[in-house]
Amino acid sequence: MNYPVWEAPMLGGGLIIGIIAILHVFVSHFAVGGGLFLPVTERKAYRENNPMLLEYVRSHSKFFVLVVLVFGAVSGVGIWWSIGLVNPEATATLIHVFVWGWAIEWVFFFVEIAAAFIYYYGWDRLDAKTHLLVGWIYFGAAWASLFVINGILTFMLTPGRWLETQSFAAAFFNPGMLPSCLVRTAVSVALAGVYALVTAAAVRDVGLRTEVIQYAAKWLLVGTVVIPLGGLWYISTLPAMAREISMGAAPAVTIFAGLSIFFSALVVLFTYFGPYRNPRYFNLTFAFVIAVMALSTTGVTEWVREAVRKPYIIYDYMYANTLRTDDLNRVRQQGILKSALWVRVHEVDPKAPEKAGEEVFRVQCASCHTLNGYNSIRFAVKGWSRAMIDYQLLHLNELKGFMPPFVGTEEERRALGAWLASLSPLPSNLEIAPSEKAETRPVTSEGAPKP
Distances (CA, A) of 379 to 74, 106, 374: 35, 43, 10
DSSP 8-state symbol, 4: P
pLDDT in tens, 141-164: 999 999 999 999 999 999 999 999
What is the average pLDDT score of the chain?
Answer: 91
pLDDT of residue 287: 96
Q: Which residues pair with 314 in a beta bridge?
A: 318
pLDDT of residue 401: 80
pLDDT of residue 435: 60
Q: How far apart are CA 169 and CA 4, in angstroms?
A: 32
CATH homologous superfamily for the domain 327-439 = Cytochrome c-like domain (1.10.760.10)
pLDDT of residue 432: 62
pLDDT of residue 400: 83
pLDDT of residue 121: 96
Q: How far apart are CA 198 and CA 220, in angstroms?
A: 12
The domain made up of 12-319 has a fold known as Formate dehydrogenase/DMSO reductase fold (1.20.1630)
Identify the segments of the chain with pLDDT beneath 70: 1, 427-451
For residue 439, count other CB atoms closer than 10 A to its CB.
8
Q: How far apart are CA 329 and CA 442, in angstroms?
A: 7
Q: Which residues pair with 324 in a beta bridge?
A: 318
Find the radius of gyration of the CA atoms of the chain: 25
Render the burial of 53-91: b for 16+ CB within 10 Å, e for the rest.
Answer: bbebbeebbeebbebbbeebbebbebbeebbebbbbbbb
**Largest interatomic CA distance in the chain:** 85
- Domain ranges in the chain are 12-319, 327-439
pLDDT of residue 451: 47
- Look at residues 215, 190, 221, 193 and name the one whose alpha carbon lies nearest to residue 279: 215
- Please indicate whether the domains covering 12-319 and 327-439 agree at the CATH topology level: no
pLDDT of residue 390: 92
For residue 242, count other CB atoms closer than 10 A to its CB.
25
